[in-house]
Amino acid sequence: MERTLGIIKPDAVSKGYAGKILAIIEENGFNIVGLKKIRLTKEKAEGFYYVHKDKPFFNSLTDFMSEGPIIVMVLEKENAIADWRKLMGATNPENAEEGTLRKMFAENIERNAVHGSDSPESAKYEISYFFNALELV
Ligand code: RTP
Ligand code: MG
């Protein structure tokens, strides 16, 4: 079993898509082992996305991620990291395949509805960024 960190981003939460996204997550065989709704500060968003600190979109991305509530969750299944990224679809929804969450719910390349860890190392960092062991069942 593998775990990954998923986020329902502020665009999707504010538009009321969280319930639909959670249902799709369960239908696709993920066990939601941790979940909470929080609001990031700008600083907390910058810490989360520090790997992108030198990218041109860093300031805009961290403004977006702190503009309203998000839902952070730990998803567990075999091959969770790759399978969750597959279910999310391409970063830019214009390139996302039919049936993916970004195809269904994203607005554009930045306001793209969901996040997922991209490696075992980033999953470990990102899960511990939001959850302690007692919060995971
Ligand atoms: P994520 O980390 O959120 O799961 O998304 P990802 O791996 O598909 O994409 P990544 O390259 O890690 O970028 C992180 C987030 O930054 C925003 N972004 N904006 N304006 C742009 O060109 C641009 N590129 C990326 C998106 O919100 C992306 O998910
Ligand atoms: Mg990424």
The token duo for 8 is: 């329902």
Q: Give the CA angle between residues 137, 125, 86 to the nearest 5°.
A: 80
The domain tally of the chain equals 1
Beta bridge partners of 38: 70
**Ligand 1, pocket residues at CB < 6 Å:** 52, 57, 61, 91, 109-110, 112, 115-116, 118
Supply the range of the domain harboring residue 108.
2-135
CATH code (residue 43): 3.30.70.141
> What is the per-residue pLDDT across 44-96, written as a single tens digit (0 to 9) for each?
999 999 999 999 999 999 999 999 999 999 999 999 999 999 999 999 999 99
Q: How many CA atoms lie within 13 A of 76 on its CB side?
A: 9
- For ligand 1, atom 1, the nearest C-alpha belongs to 115
**pTM as predicted:** 0.97
